[in-house]
Structure 1
Amino acid sequence: MKQLIIVFILLALTIAALFANSLYDIPYLRQIYFTLLWLTIIHFFFKVILERAITRGVGDAKTRYEISKILSILYVVALLLASIRIWIADPQVLLVSYGLVAAGVTVALQDLFKNFMGGLIIFVSGTYRVGDRIEVNSKFGDIIDIGILNTTLFELKEWVNADQPTGRITTIPNGFVLNTNINNYTKDNPFIWDEITVPITYDSDWKDAHERIINIVSKETRNVTVAAQNQISELSKKYYLADGIKGPALYLTMTDNWIELHIRYLTRARERRQLHDKLSRLILEDIQKDNRITIASATFDITVRNAD
């Protein structure tokens, strides 16, 4: 209502300037009339039509605020361009003035336009979708909303171990898609590789440990492995994949203190910690049944010398 009253006041001033220009031969009265006319048109378009459209069409308060901020800057720019065109007759001066205005707009809106273009790229290319789990700029999270200018994540990790939520809502600008790598854990393929390391002493029967661990993990991940193989077969139709997915694999590493057995297996991205915990418990319980296998831990030799 307030903006409509302003429009009516501007319209009344425009009509008054029109009559004054027709009755009196006063310098610059014509420019004043055209200035008021364009001010009325621009104000009505930005402050009445567009703002009502944003209020009705954009539900998110933050996005609505950011769009309103852009429109406010464009409103001032439109007024400046119209005023310069009316009051400056010299083409060279007019061109320079337009260049200065364009430079100012570029500086003022560079981040907003960058985020807007990033939003368009996300929507058009499908870089990620709501529900995907991504990592960007060392931020992990599940996407809960994709706006025109920002993406909202339900944050993971940080001070919480593994892939567990922190409870915080994180907002990141869409402009990062233009120059930042994005790791998507669930797009096209919801399966990832995980690894558990089991250290055992050198006097342990590492061959028996190897067999026990590989049997446990193969049994517990059989269904996941089959599902992942089917998914990769479909994925190979879209991307070039040199090697197919095989089952769990165990690798051995010798260190100065113990033997490390690294078991590598497939898991669903959203179930990584749960499966990691389950397998770790089963492996520990099974190894503790065999006296020939001992879990290694760090040891220290302490030498005590007399003060003399």
Structure 2
Amino acid sequence: MFKKFLNFIIFTITAILFWFLNLKYSNVDLTKISYSFSAIALSYLVFKLLLEGAVSKKIKDSHARYSFRKTTQLLFIIISFVIILRIWILNPQALLVAYGLLAAGIAIALQDVFKNFAGALVILLTNIYHVGDRIEINSQFGDVIDIGLFYTTLLELREWVDGDQTTGRIIILPNGAVLSNSLHNYTKDHSFIWDEITLPITYNSNWQSAIEIIKKIVKKETLPIVKKAEKEISHLEEKYFVSKRNIESDIFITPTDNWITLNIRYVTDVRERRILKNKLSTLILEELQKHKDISIASQTYTITTTSKK
């Protein structure tokens, strides 16, 4: 703060010095220089001392405070430059051209800032996501924990951690990303997704019995979420064109060269996908182990060796 106050004093003293020089030598350029430093001093007082120095202290969020300081710094430079152009260029046409070049330069220099601000408006006005949603955009996946004027903050999921669980890292995502990238929202208008467990069964197993056992387990464990999903589907049909879908769990069979693959499809809560998958896998394995006529398949290799005589 002391450094900023010192800068303001230097600008002010410089303006006064050139004013006195103009009184002594009566030169137009000295007058313009005095006015220029006066404009800089006034802009510095408003944007750097008052706005940045006083207002930014009341902003608790460090990221928002940083963005505010950068904005005031840019405003200080732009306003000072505009006033100085007006002081030195008296021809209206030349002044208009100078302002046009300045505006073009600002648009190019601040295109990312404007894009991020426009993205924030799109997010807030269209409600494509809000705080608490689980989203994926530009290969970044996480839970939204804050939406600012320029950036969205995510609590990162996946990466080296499986099962949609947090890594602990914070992602700072530019809001402008929503303007040029596809957005996946896992919790907008409903809270469920479909998931699958793949289980290989040997051909000599009683696979019909295995399917019935697995269906009973999955149906029992997913009953609460199925009822909830049915209600949410009915609400989706009122808002979107959604065709009727089977919410109940199901099992699909795929014969392969080595085994029969059982693809167990079921509905789960978005935030409990790994928990439910682990529970179902545990229950299925424990139950199948009780039946000797059901065997889980695995990849095997036959190695043949020959001995040299």
Asked if TM exceeds 0.5, the reply is yes
1:41 corresponds to which letter in structure 2?
A: L
Indicate the residue corresponding to 1:87 in structure 2: 88
User: Any stretches of 5+ residues in structure 2 without a counterpart?
Assistant: none
- Whether the 8 Å CA contact 1:70–1:112 is kept in 2: the answer is no
- Whether the 8 Å CA contact 2:56–2:68 is kept in 1: the answer is no
Indicate the residue corresponding to 1:212 in structure 2: 213
Indicate the residue corresponding to 1:62 in structure 2: 63
Q: What is the CA RMSD across the aligned residues, in angstroms?
A: 2.4
Give the secondary-structure state (helix, strand or coil) at the position aligned to 1:40: helix
- Whether the 8 Å CA contact 1:228–1:245 is kept in 2: the answer is no
- Whether the 8 Å CA contact 2:56–2:69 is kept in 1: the answer is no
Indicate the residue corresponding to 1:141 in structure 2: 142
CA distance in 2, matches of 1:86, 1:251: 78
Q: Deviations over 1:129-182 (max 9, x none)?
A: 222111122222122222222222221111112112212222222221111112
TM-score, normalised with respect to structure 2: 0.89
Q: Deviations over 1:222-268 (max 9, x none)?
A: 11100110111122222221124421111111111110111111110
Indicate the residue corresponding to 1:256 in structure 2: 257
CA distance in 2, matches of 1:49, 1:249: 65
Indicate the residue corresponding to 1:51 in structure 2: 52
Distance 1:245 1:75, change over 3 A: farther
Indicate the residue corresponding to 1:110 in structure 2: 111
Indicate the residue corresponding to 1:153 in structure 2: 154
Deviation at 1:40, TM superposition (A): 3.4
Deviation at 1:208, TM superposition (A): 1.0
Give the secondary-structure state (helix, strand or coil) at the position aligned to 2:176: helix
Give the secondary-structure state (helix, strand or coil) at the position aligned to 1:223: helix
- Whether the 8 Å CA contact 2:120–2:149 is kept in 1: the answer is yes
Distance 1:49 1:238, change over 3 A: farther
CA distance in 1, matches of 2:278, 2:219: 15
- Whether the 8 Å CA contact 1:196–1:262 is kept in 2: the answer is yes
Give the secondary-structure state (helix, strand or coil) at the position aligned to 1:77: helix
Count of residue pairs brought into register by the alignment: 308
1:276 corresponds to which letter in structure 2?
A: K
- Whether the 8 Å CA contact 1:42–1:75 is kept in 2: the answer is yes
Deviation at 1:100, TM superposition (A): 3.1
CA distance in 1, matches of 2:303, 2:10: 91
Indicate the residue corresponding to 1:270 in structure 2: 271
Query: Aligned ranges for residues 274-285 of structure 1 at < 5 Å?
Result: 274-285=275-286
- Whether the 8 Å CA contact 2:288–2:294 is kept in 1: the answer is yes
- Whether the 8 Å CA contact 1:135–1:184 is kept in 2: the answer is yes
* 2:167 pairs with 1:189: no
Query: Aligned ranges for residues 30-41 of structure 1 at < 5 Å?
Result: 30-41=31-42
Judge which range, 176-185 or 28-37, deviates more.
Answer: 28-37
Give the secondary-structure state (helix, strand or coil) at the position aligned to 1:237: helix
Give the secondary-structure state (helix, strand or coil) at the position aligned to 2:154: strand
CA distance in 1, matches of 2:36, 2:237: 63
Deviation at 1:107, TM superposition (A): 2.9
Distance 1:61 1:189, change over 3 A: same
Distance 1:54 1:119, change over 3 A: farther
Distance 1:8 1:270, change over 3 A: same
- Whether the 8 Å CA contact 1:7–1:44 is kept in 2: the answer is yes
CA distance in 2, matches of 1:136, 1:53: 36
Q: Deviations over 1:207-231 (max 9, x none)?
A: 1111111111011111110011011
Q: Deviations over 1:181-202 (max 9, x none)?
A: 1211112211111111111011
User: Any stretches of 5+ residues in structure 1 without a counterpart?
Assistant: none
Give the secondary-structure state (helix, strand or coil) at the position aligned to 2:28: coil
- Whether the 8 Å CA contact 2:52–2:68 is kept in 1: the answer is no
CA distance in 1, matches of 2:278, 2:26: 89
* 2:171 pairs with 1:170: yes
Deviation at 1:7, TM superposition (A): 4.8
CA distance in 2, matches of 1:156, 1:132: 12
Give the secondary-structure state (helix, strand or coil) at the position aligned to 2:265: strand
Indicate the residue corresponding to 1:122 in structure 2: 123
CA distance in 1, matches of 2:236, 2:55: 40
